[in-house]
Amino acid sequence: MIFFLANFSLVMSSIGFILLPLICGQMVDVIKDGGSMTKGTIEFIILTVFMAIFSSIRGFMFNILGEKIMVALRKELFDKLLTKDISYYDANKTGELLSRLGNDIGTVYSVCTDNISILLRNFLQFFGSLLLLWLLSWKLTLFILVLTPIISFVILRIVKVSKKLQK
């Protein structure tokens, strides 16, 4: 249930982040045409609240998932440490073992809560933005998709040459 709610909130907040520039663009068009911004402002406020709620739920749920994983890892590691022979503890300092295990579990916690959430969010936002751009203008989308690798290649070449010149 927590995993489903975390991912559902992730999808909903990503949709909000994708729609935000669209609403802002519509507000600019209304200003340009001399119309009233009331509808656009209300949409903007609703979308911002929507994004805040689902982003908060997403963060909270991924933290709960991370905590559950940490508890399971700590329990499993503790059980493994109890099965070790005394000679193992003679060869290894107990304080170093506990410090290392604590740091490793903290790293796993960070990966489970922050990194996975950010990776999924960025993945959804990238492809969602690409879809929205395609719906707005497929010609512009194709232009961007063709031009981006070319520009990236040129920039990478410039960086390589710059690094060689700096040495």
| pLDDT at residue 39 tops 80 | yes
The DSSP code for 39 is: H
- Residue 109 contacts by C-beta under 8 Å, 6 or more apart in sequence? 66, 67, 69, 70
pTM of the model: 0.73
| Alpha helix positions (H), 34-137 | 38-82, 86-91, 94-110, 116-136
What is the predicted pLDDT for the residue at 93? 83
Q: What are phi and psi of 34, to 5 degrees?
A: 80, 20
* C-alpha closest to that of 45 among 68, 22, 20, 12: 20
What is the rounded CA–CA span in Å between residue 14 and residue 2?
18
Question: What is the sign, positive or negative, of the torsion defined by CA atoms of 66, 61, 23, 19?
Answer: positive
Which pLDDT band holds residue 116 (cuts at 50, 70, 90)?
confident
What is the rounded CA–CA span in Å between residue 70 and residue 105?
6
| pLDDT at residue 112 tops 80 | no
Q: What is the mean pLDDT of residues 99-103?
A: 82
Which pLDDT band holds residue 138 (cuts at 50, 70, 90)?
very high
Q: What is the mean pLDDT of residues 5-30?
A: 90
Token output for 128: 């969602």
